[in-house]
Amino acid sequence: MDKKSQQELVDKPGSHPFDEILYCNIGNPQSLNQQLPYQQPITFFREVLALCDHPAILDKSETQGLFSADSIERAWQILDQIPGRATGAYSHSQHKRWRRKLTKKFKR
């Protein structure tokens, strides 16, 4: 679909067998409103990564209002498994030991 089709939907309702265009190629899969029980919103992962990359904010009171409790808990779980609690730029080519164990557990 292109801008022309988008405009046709506005100018000539019913001109296509659909009434809206969902752009799935621009990094927003949540726009589809898929609420699968096993699918967590992408926000959760972004929050966990942010907290793991800057663990100093985990102990700040403001963090509770900015991040979900689930994200904070998961960040602590991950950081507790990392020596020095620093994500760093480099890791073992097969990932951290705890990550390999977790992956192996889910593959079974």
Tell me how far apart the alpha carbons of residues 95 and 60 are, in angstroms, rounded to a whole number. 29
Rg, C-alpha atoms of the chain: 21
pTM: 0.51
Query: Looking at residues 13-20, what average pLDDT do you find?
Result: 86
Is pLDDT larger for residue 104 or for residue 77? 77
DSSP class per residue in 50-82: HHHH-GGGGGSHHHHHHS-HHHHHHHHHHHTTS
CA–CA separation, 74 and 52 (whole Å): 9
pLDDT, one tens digit per residue, over 82-97 is 877 878 766 555 566 7
Burial class (CB in 10 A: 0-12, 13-18, 19+), 50: middle
- What domains lie within the chain, and their CATH numbers? 1-36 (no CATH), 40-89 (1.10.287.1970)
